[in-house]
Amino acid sequence: MKRTPIVVTATVAGLAGVLAFHTSPPEVNLTPSPGTTGQQADQSSPTAGRPAASPSRGPTSTSRPSPTPTSSSSRAASGNDGTRTIDGPAVNYSYGVLSVSVTLSGNKIVKVGIASLNDDGSFRSEMIDQQAIPILEQEAVQAQSANIQGVSGASYTSAGFKTSLQAALRSAGFS
């Protein structure tokens, strides 16, 4: 009985809902900044065959450092390396309550994670932590580096995610 697709859809949509309140226009730094970790500016970032450029949109580029996800009830903390981590508000999802944390260096998302999750220890939450977070993090970082707000066409991550999730759930007895 394959109920898991519903869980994945709802949960990830909830996750993204917490993440994704952007200011308009978005104030993101499009050039990779030195010293940030991992995922941007390596050869796996999507490009259109040109180096990532910072176009001017309108008369001036605003530079107010506003965290990309924000809400009136989020907490913020500063790291030693100049990064800031913001925890989003707790959100009800199908199996409990979760909140997301986003780490920013300047205006650039460098990490996404689960700040808190209360679901009575359900197996599905481990899946969320292990599978969905790296995907959303990678997509968030990649979208910034190419100055786009999304990608059309199934990414390798979607297919891989579904496959590995289905296989893992099958082996755990959810079929």
Partner 1 sequence: MGTVITIDIYTADGDASPVLMRALGTAQAILQRADAVFSTWNYDSPVSRLRRGEIASGQAPPEVADVIAGCAAARAASDGWFDPWAMPGGFDPTGYVKGWAAQRAARALRVPGARGAIVNAAGDIASFGALGPCAPFRIGIADPFARTQLAAVVCLAGAIATSGSYERGPHLIDPHTGQPTARAASASVTGPDLGLADALATALAVAGAPGLALIEPLDGYEALIIGHDRQHRATAGFPFAPPENE
Residues in touch with partner 1 (CB under 8 A): 1-6, 8-10, 12-14, 16-18, 20-26, 44-48, 50-51, 53, 55-58, 66-68, 70-72, 89, 132, 135-136, 139, 142-143, 146-156, 158-159, 161-162, 166
**Other C-beta atoms within 10 Å of 99: how many?**
19
Q: How far is the CB of 115 from partner 1 (least distance, A)?
A: 15
Q: Based on CB atoms, which residue is closest to partner 1, 80 or 171?
A: 171
Tokens 């996404």 — which residue? 112
Please state at what angle helix 156-171 crosses helix 4-19, rounded to 10 degrees: 130
Token pair of 80, please? 């030693």
Give how far Cα 98 sits from Cα of 49, 59, 110, 121, Å: 38, 40, 20, 12
Q: How far is the CB of 62 from partner 1 (least distance, A)?
A: 10
Q: Based on CB atoms, which residue is closest to partner 1, 117 or 139?
A: 139
Q: How far is the CB of 4 from partner 1 (least distance, A)?
A: 8
Token pair of 153, please? 């066409």
Q: How far is the CB of 149 from partner 1 (least distance, A)?
A: 5
Q: Based on CB atoms, which residue is closest to partner 1, 59 or 80?
A: 59
Tokens 């970082």 — which residue? 141
Q: Based on CB atoms, which residue is closest to partner 1, 7 or 110?
A: 7
Residue 12's H or E segment, with its range, is helix 4-19
Q: Based on CB atoms, which residue is closest to partner 1, 110 or 132?
A: 132
Provide the b/e sequence for 101-117 (b: ≥16 CB within 10 Å): bbbbbebbbbbbebbeb
Q: How far is the CB of 101 from partner 1 (least distance, A)?
A: 15
